[in-house]
Structure 1
Amino acid sequence: MSIKNDMVVQFNYTLRDEQGEVLETNEGLDPIAYLHGHDNMMPGVEDAINGKETGEKFSVTLPAALTYGERNEDSEQRVSVKHLQGAKVWKPGMRALINTDQGQRQVTIIKVGKFMATVDINHPLAGRELTFDIEIVDARDATDEEKAHGHAHGKGGHQH
């Protein structure tokens, strides 16, 4: 079955950096599920999957603009240390989660004081050319409810 819009796609992936080092993988875990054609996936990954077949394995190297975006060097903010989630003691270079109006965001600690921290709000992988090794595990037509909600339901997708 060829992947097209309004399909729920399940896939496994391994993400590699410019030197081929593995940064992330879902190997041994449940496949990722998303609703194709509804901006639920990085544009470069979705474009690479478009038209592929169930069972197909492939690699695609993508520029930063099609994955986590370009780095914005003016993306430093000062936040209260009490809003940082993920550790009790913070040091420069550590990653933390903060809650924003748009949901949780991962930040990198630049400098930390007793009450305030300076953080880089760029995604840690912003500005990098990344290679995705992808295996299409399954694909099916989306239900009317999934299309109306704009995301995949069930295992690997959104749970209501």
Structure 2
Amino acid sequence: MAMQKDQVISINYELKIEGEVVDSNIGKDALEFTFDSEQLIPGLESRMIDMNEGETREINVPAAEAYGEHNPAMKQIVPIEQFGGLELEVGMPMQGQGQNGESIQVVITEILEDTVEVDSNHPLAGKDLDFTVTVLSIK
């Protein structure tokens, strides 16, 4: 039976990118979500719709159906003074402020003498995601 809107689904999953495990809840609490409520990335949820309780499936989600393609326009050069003397490192995640004042997550991608390049793409943007999903329950 196909999963239906508003059913509570409980799963275990393992996420790999290019063969490397980057996230997993195996051996931890199950992930519970309400089906068709935009709590999961669309490409994963749409590939799970016909799964049954107890079923395990390998699911590939292309970047476009996960966190989108990497967008070079989402990189920005910021004067280093805006970091108030913080000790900065490439790869360091930080909270930034979007054009409309909203809080956004950025990652430092380059540090020069007077400027810092930050990237506000999701860290998994541009990456195809390989999931192993086991449906534990459908309620």
What interval of TM-score do these two structures reach, taking the shorter chain for normalisation?
Answer: 0.7 to 0.9
Give 1:68 deviation, angstroms. 1.0
Give 1:113 deviation, angstroms. 6.7
For residues 63 and 131 of structure 1, the distance between their equivalents in structure 2, rounded to whole angstroms, comes to 9
TM (norm. structure 2) is 0.81
Give 1:69 deviation, angstroms. 0.6
In the alignment, structure 1 residue 81 sits paired with structure 2 residue 80: no
Local SS of the residue matching 2:72: coil
TM (norm. structure 1) is 0.71
Contact 1:98/1:107 (8 A) holds in 2: yes
Aligned amino acid, residue 15 of structure 2: L
Unaligned runs of 5+ in 2: none
Give 1:108 deviation, angstroms. 1.5
Contact 1:109/1:119 (8 A) holds in 2: yes
Give 1:34 deviation, angstroms. 1.3
For residues 118 and 22 of structure 1, the distance between their equivalents in structure 2, rounded to whole angstroms, comes to 28
For residues 101 and 119 of structure 2, the distance between their equivalents in structure 1, rounded to whole angstroms, comes to 17
Unaligned runs of 5+ in 1: 83-87, 141-160
Size of the aligned set, in residue pairs, is 134
Percent sequence identity is 31
For residues 90 and 64 of structure 2, the distance between their equivalents in structure 1, rounded to whole angstroms, comes to 26
For residues 64 and 58 of structure 1, the distance between their equivalents in structure 2, rounded to whole angstroms, comes to 19
